[in-house]
Amino acid sequence: MLDYLQNLALANWVRSSPSIFAYSTVLTVHAVGLAIVVGVNTIIALRLLGIAPGIPLAGLRRLYSIVWIGFFINLVSGCLLFIAEAHSMAAMVAFWAKLFFVALGMIVAGLLKRLYFSDVASVQAGIVTRVGRNLAIVSLVCWYLALIVGRLTGYPDLVSGWLGLSGGGT
């Protein structure tokens, strides 16, 4: 399966084309998407935790459209980056941990919409319920852990060393 993905013409192109639109741009776009997803989720969580209380909660909910744009950008760029180096990515603990926290972050966003933003009375009255606050904290934790372990995918040897696995390199 990993062989199949990694040998796709598209995967080859992303990995080894000298074109600026191949690996380097896909990676760059992935960083922009990350900033959008983490940044906007951060704003939403900060507002729910009491920072910038002047932002109407119904208006805040609309910011999820931007989160979705960032998520879509990174889903596409992330798939391209994965198939380009399917074997080495799939072998990384940090990569799977990142996917886990991204998935959890998206689930928490879904729960926020279902359990808090759908509570029209509270939202209209400008009240952030306890569920809303707790989910905001979990959301922040998920997105920043995703960011941290995502960056660690660039340091497989270091991670192996920390985990006491037999890593190469140093």
Q: Name the residues that contact another protein, by CB under 8 A.
A: 18-20, 23-25, 27-28, 31-32, 34-36, 38-43, 46, 51-56, 58-60, 62-63, 66, 144, 147-148, 151-152, 154-155, 158, 161, 170
Tell me the backbone φ, ψ of residue 43, rounded to 5 degrees: -60, -45
Q: How far apart are CA 148 and CA 135, in angstroms?
A: 20
Which one, 1 or 170, has the nearer CB to another protein? Answer: 170
| Burial class of 53 by CB neighbour count within 10 A (0 to 12, 13 to 18, 19+) | exposed
User: Which residues does 155 contact at the CB level (< 8 Å), separation at least 6?
Assistant: 94
Which one, 32 or 75, has the nearer CB to another protein? Answer: 32
Asked if 37 contacts 139 with a C-beta cutoff of 8 angstroms, the reply is no
Nearest approach, Cβ of residue 31 and another protein (Å)? 5
Which one, 11 or 67, has the nearer CB to another protein? Answer: 67
Plot region of 169 (φ>0 → left; ψ -120 to 50 → alpha; else → beta): left
Nearest approach, Cβ of residue 160 and another protein (Å)? 12
Exposure b/e, 54-76, CB count within 10 A at least 16 = b:
ebebeebbeebebbeebbebbee
Closest CA to 50 of 130, 155, 153: 130
Which one, 4 or 17, has the nearer CB to another protein? Answer: 17
Which one, 51 or 107, has the nearer CB to another protein? Answer: 51
Nearest approach, Cβ of residue 144 and another protein (Å)? 7
Nearest approach, Cβ of residue 84 and another protein (Å)? 14
Nearest approach, Cβ of residue 85 and another protein (Å)? 15
